[in-house]
């Protein structure tokens, strides 16, 4: 029995990093759907969460069956994380309409580097040489993506500011998820956070006078199922098996993918600097995983999440 459980944990750990990358690539489609939606930007954030709630509730009930119910303080912490997530979506969705898709993904995931710092503080150690090289590659790649956008147009500043603020809120959400995943299964965590964030977004959308009821549900359904159920589902799953350092850099897969989507969907400029930035981010993702893989082999399995 113990051997089967260890084998299952090891398999879950092996799947975590691909899940992290796939989740972020799916999440990169979200800004495109926000632009296509015929409701206000905050209202689109509400529908992203509201449509997902029934699906996440069913998945959460399935995962929670046979497990001990989470404590009230733990549920409250996850709910607080959901409020951070709601604030993230509100600021991010406003910013998406005011800047390039690549910028929205890049600044919206500025939490990457904050989460990396949090990860090393939590581990109580300095980065290894390979990790430091990965961080340098990621920083250089992000700088190239950001620098190229400003050469194209300084008019993106307001949108960039909104999405940067969103990234700060996203950090609070991810820290709450990281702590909750030490004892909770992924879907209950995501279901609680999603439910907590929906109503505040609806209230804010109405206070801002935004259109809430859509004429075309297609972009909102794709946004909700793709970004919230599948994308966030994969991300929250991966958080339970990977360190915040790896998760943080994994978030940078989004702006690289966002640059490609922006180029294909809207003809947004994708310069050589953008391409070089995407390559450097890809290199960082490979490098940051090397120490983790060695640690997995040394311990013979996953973290006990």
52 vs 298, higher pLDDT: 52
SS (H, E, C) the chain: CHHHHHHHHHHHHHHHHHHHHHHHHHHCCHHHHHHHCCCCHHHHHHHHHHHHHHHHHHHHHHHHCCCCCCCHHHHHHHHHHHHHHHHHHHHHHHHHCCCCHHHHHHHHCCHHHHHHHHHHHHHCCCCCHHHHHHHHHHHHHHHHHHHHHHHHCHHHHHHHHHHHHHHHHHHHHHHHHHHHCCCCCHHHHHHHHHHHHHHHHHHHHHHCCCCCCCCCCHHHHHHHHHHHHHHHHHHHHHHCCCCHHHHHHHCCHHHHHHHHHHHHHHCCCCCHHHHHHHHHHHHHHHHHHHHHHHHHHHHCCCCCC
Residue 56 in tokens: 């996440």
Average pLDDT of span 28-46: 91
Give the residue extent of every domain in the chain: 15-299
Contacts of 96 (CB under 8 A, 6+ apart): 31, 34, 35, 41, 104, 159, 163
Residue 174 has pLDDT above 70, yes or no: yes
Average pLDDT of span 87-116: 77
pLDDT digits (tens, 9 = 90+) for 44-54: 999 999 999 99
Q: What is the pTM of this model?
A: 0.79
Which range scores top for mean pLDDT: 12-26, 139-153, 186-200, 285-299?
186-200
Q: What is the pLDDT of residue 147?
A: 64
Average pLDDT of span 13-34: 88
Confidence grade of residue 151 (pLDDT, cut at 50, 70, 90)? very low
Confidence grade of residue 252 (pLDDT, cut at 50, 70, 90)? confident
Q: What is the pLDDT of residue 297?
A: 43
pLDDT averaged over every residue in the chain: 82
């Amino acid at each position: 029995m113990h051997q089967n459980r260890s084998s299952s944990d090891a398999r879950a750990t092996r799947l975590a990093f691909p899940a992290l990358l796939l989740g972020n690539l799916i999440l990169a489609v979200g800004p495109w759907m926000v632009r296509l939606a015929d409701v206000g930007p905050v209202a689109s954030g509400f529908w992203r969460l509201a449509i997902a709630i029934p699906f996440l509730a069913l998945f959460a009930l399935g995962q929670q069956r046979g497990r001990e119910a989470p404590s009230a303080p733990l549920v409250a912490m996850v709910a607080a994380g959901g409020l951070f997530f709601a604030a993230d979506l509100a600021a991010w969705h406003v910013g998406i309409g005011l800047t390039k898709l690549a910028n929205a993904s890049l600044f919206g995931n500025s939490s990457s580097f904050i989460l990396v710092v949090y990860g090393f503080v939590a581990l109580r150690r300095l980065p290894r040489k390979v990790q430091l090289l990965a961080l340098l590659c990621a920083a250089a790649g992000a700088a190239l993506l950001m620098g190229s956008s400003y050469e194209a147009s300084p008019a993106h500043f307001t949108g960039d500011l909104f999405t940067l603020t969103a990234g700060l809120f996203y950090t609070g959400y991810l820290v709450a998820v990281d702590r909750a995943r030490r004892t909770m299964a992924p879907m209950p965590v995501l279901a609680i956070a999603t439910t907590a964030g929906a109503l505040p977004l609806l209230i804010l959308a109405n206070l801002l006078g935004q259109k809430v009821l859509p004429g075309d549900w297609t972009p909102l359904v794709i946004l909700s199922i793709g970004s919230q159920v599948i994308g966030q589902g994969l991300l929250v799953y991966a958080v339970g098996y990977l360190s915040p350092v790896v998760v943080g850099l994994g978030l940078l897969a989004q702006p690289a993918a966002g640059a490609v989507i922006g180029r294909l969907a809207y003809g947004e400029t994708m310069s050589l600097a953008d391409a070089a930035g995407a390559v450097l981010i890809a290199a960082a993702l490979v490098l940051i995983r090397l120490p983790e893989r060695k640690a997995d082999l040394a311990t013979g399995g996953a973290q006990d999440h």
